[in-house]
Amino acid sequence: MEVKELGHLVLYVRNLERSSAFYRDILGWRQIEPAGALAGIPMAAFTSGRTHHELLLIEVGPDAQPQPKGRRVGLYHFGLKIGTSDDELREGLDRIRSAGVEVVGMSDHTATHSVYILDPDDNEIELYIDVPGVDWRDPAAVLAPVRPLAL
């Protein structure tokens, strides 16, 4: 067996309407259809157009346990490629800041330039661009020391 690509991501969320608005209206995902329910569980699906769905949100309600802080086992963050230039990354940064989304980090990874944010349920998201001219197949570029990014 060989993994060909990451297919989709499923997130539990406290409030489906709030999270759907974040992923649809701020990050620009296309919602496949209005939110619905499967077996009585509220959910919404989103796509960038690459495949049938890349993100599925499942509502678990306001009493769900929060994400633990600090070092822990499990998901650290997921990355969303938003372009191929720093200008596109700046546009994304302006959009999320104007929507009141807090930026929790910015990094130059040599192969990528990244802005880190939190969704309404504190899932960390990396918004990134592949740096033109850098060969991401070169381990030295991918594993280069992380530097601060100034946009």
| Domain-embedded: residue 132 | yes
The whole-model pTM stands at: 0.93
Give the CATH number for residue 92. Answer: 3.10.180.10
- Domain count across the chain: 2
Q: Residue holding tokens 């596109």?
A: 88
Mean pLDDT of all residues belonging to the chain: 94
Task: Give CA separation, 115 vs 61, 104, 107, 126, in Å.
Answer: 29, 8, 7, 6
Domain span at 41? 9-59
Q: DSSP 3-state helix, strand, coil percentages of the chain (rounded to 5)?
A: 20, 35, 50
Cβ 88 vs Cβ 129: under 8 Å:
yes
At residue 76, φ and ψ (nearest 5 deg) are -90, -60
Percent of the chain surpassing pLDDT 70: 100
Q: What is the pLDDT of residues 33-87, one digit of tens each?
A: 877 888 889 999 999 999 999 999 999 999 999 888 889 899 999 999 999 999 9
Indicate if 55 and 111 belong to the same structural domain: no
pLDDT band for position 31 (cuts 50, 70, 90) = very high
Indicate if 54 and 93 belong to the same structural domain: no
Bridge partners for 130 per DSSP: 112
pLDDT recorded at residue 69: 86
Tokens standing for 36? 């619905």
| Domain-embedded: residue 65 | no
| Domain-embedded: residue 27 | yes
Q: What is the pLDDT of residues 100-138, one digit of tens each?
A: 999 999 999 999 999 999 999 999 999 999 999 999 899
